[in-house]
Each structure stands twice: as C-alpha cells, then as structure tokens.
Chains A and B, each alone.
Chain A
Amino acid sequence: MKKKYLLFLILSIFILISADAQQAIMQFNNFFGKEDFVFKKEYTTAFGEKLSFVTLNYFISNIKLIKKNGSEYIIPQDSSYFLMKQADPSSKNIVLKNIPKGKYKSISFTIGVDSVRNTMPVEKRTGCLDVGAAARGMYWVWNSGYIFFKLEGKTVNEVDSLRKNFQYHIGGYGGYDTKTINNIKTKTLDIPVTKITKKKNPVININVDIAKFFDNITPVKIAEHRSVMWGDFSVKIADNYVNIFNIGEVVYQHE
C-alpha cells in the first residue's frame, strides 16, 4: 500500500511539473488474479501449480490513439518504444506527449517490437531498445531480435519442496530473409470517451493479469512447459498473453 502511495505521489509531482502539456499517461498495473503482482510472493495458477516470480518485462510500442470520429493519432515512431520492467516502477508509466486535443475512444499498441525496428542498424536502437543498456536480457544475440515478453520464476513443489526455475522468453518478428515465427501482437482497447486537452491529462490504466498468462486459450502448465523460448509453443503463449491486457480506470490527474 505504501509503495502505491509513493508511486502516486511521484506521478502527481511529475504531472504538476508538466502541467501545460497536452498529454496522456498509460499506466501498467500488473496483477495475479485479484492480487497485486509482486516478486517472490507465492501464487497458485488455475491448474494448482504454486509459483513465485523473479522477472516480468514486456515491450510496448507503436502506440496509437483513436478519436471518437475514427481518426488516429500515431505517436511518432522514434518515441514510441517502451520497456515495462516490474523491477523498475517508473517504467510502468508511459507518458505520451503532444497529443492533439480531442475526444478519444480507444488506444492501440504493439506488445513487442515491430519487424522493421528489429532489423535496424545499431544507431536506431536507442533508449529502451539499446541492447547494451536498457534492453539487457531482452535480446537474442545468436538469433538477432528482441524478446518481447519475459516471465521467469520458480515453482514450489509441495511434495519435496524443491524449487524449480521456469522461464518464458517470447519473441520472433517474422524473420529477416526467411519466414519464421511472428509473435508481434497488436492490442486495441476501448476506453470510455476521454477528452485530452491542455487542462485534461488522462491516466489510462492498463491492467495486466499474469494469472491469465497461464489460464487462457492454451493452458500453460509449468510442469509441461518449464522453459519456452525460440520454439513453436511460443506462438501459443503469445496468443495467450495478448488477452491479458485490459483497460482499467481512466482518471484525470489535472483539472
């Protein structure tokens, strides 16, 4: 609770500083079912597997805001890549700057990194895409490409209390010169019609339910899929996790 308060405080200060900007904030809130998602806490999946987590990172990119009249505002590409890291609370708030004034009805984004950016030269890989800095551990060096979604932890085996690691590293942009797995996912979420003006900066909450990562179209039982990286099952996992992003409250931080 304390942590949340602090986060809110930081966020408020931030918004006060930039009071006059016409902007919106996407705030990512990670859950496990009804509980807050935190590292090292024990949860139980729908399949009765007890587990705890040590890593949760995912890329959010190519964000678009769709107006009530259907027209779109595309965030300029070079400033439209974000890496949500559970370990870094500030990364959970994405500030979208200089949004045109208007009434918006939905928001669209990519979970992952588009194929073009995956093959760009190094000078185009700045900020969260820098494989020698922020993107550490989110890039396959032997099979060039970003890891879009990374979830790691341990299962708790009640019988012998052995803790065993599991890891899901999901990526795949479709291949450079040969068609390969494409796990780039685009998500469009409807929001209650939201005004964005200089005086009205909305915070769009996006709730991400990690319990549904396992309990979705394809049931993911850790005992059967303890390590999923570059392989066919990654497609099933990406098809699952595209459904775990849902719209939460939209609130105005400034009147």
Chain B
Amino acid sequence: MIAVMLIAAIISSFSVNRFAPKPMQILIPSNFPKPTYNLQSNPVTEEGFALGRKLFYDGILSRDGTISCGSCHQQASAFIHGGHDLSHGVDDQLGRRNALPIFNALFKKTFFWDGGVPSLDFVPVNPIENPVEMDEKLDHVIKKLNASAAYKILFKKAFDVDEITSKELLHALAQFMGAMISSNSKYDKYVRKEGIELNTDELAGLNLFKQKCSECHATDLFTDGSYRNNGITNDFNSDKGREEITLNPSDRGKFKVPSLRNVEYTSPYMHDGGFETLEEVLEHYNSGIKESITLDPLLKQNKSPGIPLTKNEQQQIIAFLKTLTDTAFLHDQRFSEQH
C-alpha cells in the first residue's frame, strides 16, 4: 500500500514536465445526430482548442498576412461575413460564393456549398489555398509557423511536437471549429423541454415550417445535407454548383441546403448572398422561383413553382426562425478573438 502510494507520488512529481494537455469535454446535444467527425483520433484539449483559436484569428494563414479565418467568419454574424454578399480575400479580391457559417461542423457530412470537401480536417486548406481568399500554400504556412518561436511552444504544449506539420495545424483548427456547437437557442430549450415555451406565432411558424420547409431543412441541424436547386437563378454559367464536383449535368445549379441555426444573424442569404432579409427569402419561395431543368421537385408541386405562403404565414415562419438564435453561443467569449 505504501509502495503504491510512493510510486504514485513519484509519478505525479514527474508529471509537471510530462506532456499532458487538458482534455476538453465536448457535449453532444441530446437533440443532435451523432458527430461525423472522429473525435477519438483528434481529441479536443484546452491547449489544442486555444491554439486553434489563435490560428483562426491569425493572418499568418494568408499570403500577405491580411486575411484570417475570422475575417470572413465573424462571431457577431454567426460566423459568416456580415454585410458582405461575397467575401473579400487578399488584395481585395471577391469570392464567388457567400461565406457559410462554421458552427456544428462536427455533424456535417460534407463542407462548402458544393460539398467538395468531405472531411473537417481538410476544410481550412481550401480557403488557405484559394487564390481569391488567402492565396497561400499550406506548406508555406507550416514554414512560417515553424519559424515562430511562440507557435512552436504552443504546438509543443498541444501536440508534443518539436516540428509542426500539416497534421497538427489541421488538428488544432478542427478542434477549435469542432468545439463550436450552437445548440442552446430558444427552440432547443423548447424541444428539449427545458421549461421554455414558444409563443403563439412561433408555434404557428414551427407548424408551417414542419409542413413546408423541413423536408430539406431536416433534423435539428435544420439541413438534410443534400444539394438542391432552389430556383435562385436559371443562369449557371458563372457557377454550376454541385456539378463542378460531380461533373453530372443533373447537379447543375444545386447547392448544399444550409442549416438555419442563427439564421437571424447570417444575412445575406443564399449561395450568392442575393437576399438581405428573411422577408426576401420567404417571398422568394412564395413567388420568386426561377424555373430550370434541375429545379428541385419539391418546388414544382403546385401550378406555379414555389411554396405558396401568405404574408401572415411568412411572418409566422420568420418568428419561428428567430427562435433558432443562440445568443449565448454568439456571445461565448471562448470563441472570440483573444486580446
């Protein structure tokens, strides 16, 4: 007994110098599906998360140091680029699509509007190397990080490495983004029966939503992860959407169904950022659908394309959509740039 205690004491006295990042618990909300990301192969730690956050807000990921992930994914705008239909990259170049929110990434099957990236690990490489976003090369980012004494210490603490490689860089970013879970909206508390009720308009909106919207905006992630043409345009010359990945003409003009969580704050809307308000979005489904061969069948069930919605119904749906706002998440200091 004494011997065991002695050994334990010796071990613990050494542990000061041992590599021991603090595990960070990731709570999976009870109303969410299972994560798609394998947290066992990249367990989130306090050190890894903090490092990922520092990287997320650091222009070092871009060619000229001017653009960070946080430049286009701003917390106050639910991690999209507030006030920009399309985002600006280095040299003020314009992107082609509206930035997507990045929370609840642990649960996504694929990433980006066209689903071109199936793994959270490889999400950051796309904006880093995109010439109109960060216009950098991943190997050069790694060289810059290895030349930084401060980063070398942080990577050592988080991953016990002396040399930074793409694995640690991408794991750190995946830990930070993966830990961003938005699941405490009014709707969540209502649906999890945490003592919160929806008002009459919100309830009416929820019922309308279930009838008219939830086939695509399915589950409590509010997306089925599929790609659909929702009639924004019938001119696909500048952006073929999912077809650019599959090369299948039947995917022309199809884009990923986005989640609606925090939608109150993610204006502008749609892949091209064409709508500024939720009123415009709802009216689009009511009367603005542009027909084309690949238009989603669910939008072709009536005499004229779209989903008929009276003004009152639209308002009720909007009232419901606003219950998806997770104020605590939007103000959670853990996800903010640290000064």
Within 8 A of A (CB), among B159-198: 165-167, 169-171
A176–B115 CA distance with the chains assembled, in angstroms: 10
Q: Contact check: which of B139, B171, B247, B248 meets A133 at CB < 8 Å?
A: B139
The docked-state distance in angstroms from the alpha carbon of A136 to that of B122 is 14
The CB with the most chain B CB atoms within 10 A, among A133, A143, A230, is that of A143
A143–B245 CB distance below 8 A? yes
Contact indicator B246/A175 (Cβ below 8 Å): yes
Interface check A99, CB cutoff 8 A: no
The reply to whether B246 and A178 form a contact with Cβ atoms under 8 Å apart is yes
Q: A125-B166, A144-B117, A180-B247 are in contact. Are A132 and B141 (CB under 8 A)?
A: yes
Do B138 and A132 touch (CB < 8 A)?
yes
Q: Let me know if A162 is at the binding interface, CB within 8 A.
A: no
Residues of B within 8 A of A167 (CB): none
* Nearest chain B CB to A229 CB, angstrom units: 11
The residues in B between 139 and 166 inclusive whose CB is less than 8 angstroms from any CB of A are: 139, 141-142, 165-166
Question: A136 to B166, alpha carbons, bound, how many Å?
Answer: 11
Chain B residue numbers with a CB within 8 Å of A180 are: 245-248
In A215-254, the 8 Å CB interface with B consists of: 230-232
A159-197 residues at the B interface, CB under 8 angstroms? 175-181
Bound-state CA distance A142–B132 (Å) is 13
| Interface: A207 (CB within 8 A) | no
User: Across the interface, do A141 and B41 meet the contact criterion of CB distance under 8 Å?
Assistant: no
A130-167 residues with Cβ-Cβ distance < 8 A to B are 130-133, 136, 139, 141-144
* A contact face: mostly helix, strand, loop, or mixed: loop
Alpha-carbon gap, A139 to B129, bound state (A): 11
Whether A136 and B119, one on each chain, are in contact in the complex, defined by CB atoms closer than 8 angstroms, is no
Interface residues of B in 104-120 (CB under 8 A from A): 109-110, 112, 115-119
Note all chain B residues with C-beta closer than 8 A to A175.
246
Given A131-B166, A177-B110, A231-B247, the answer on whether A119 and B139 have CB atoms closer than 8 Å is no
State whether the Cβ of B204 lies closer than 8 Å to any Cβ in chain A: no
In the complex, B233 has a CB within 8 A of chain A: no
A142 touches B118 (CB 8 A): no
Contacting pair B126 A122 (CB below 8 A):
no
Question: Which B residues contact A (CB, under 8 angstroms)?
Answer: 38, 41-42, 109-110, 112, 115-119, 121-122, 125-126, 128-130, 137-139, 141-142, 165-167, 169-171, 244-248, 251
Interface residues of A (CB under 8 A from B): 119, 121-123, 125-126, 130-133, 136, 139, 141-144, 175-181, 230-232
A-B contact pairs, 12 of them (CB 8 A): A122-B122, A122-B166, A130-B167, A131-B166, A132-B166, A133-B165, A136-B139, A141-B126, A142-B126, A178-B248, A180-B245, A181-B247
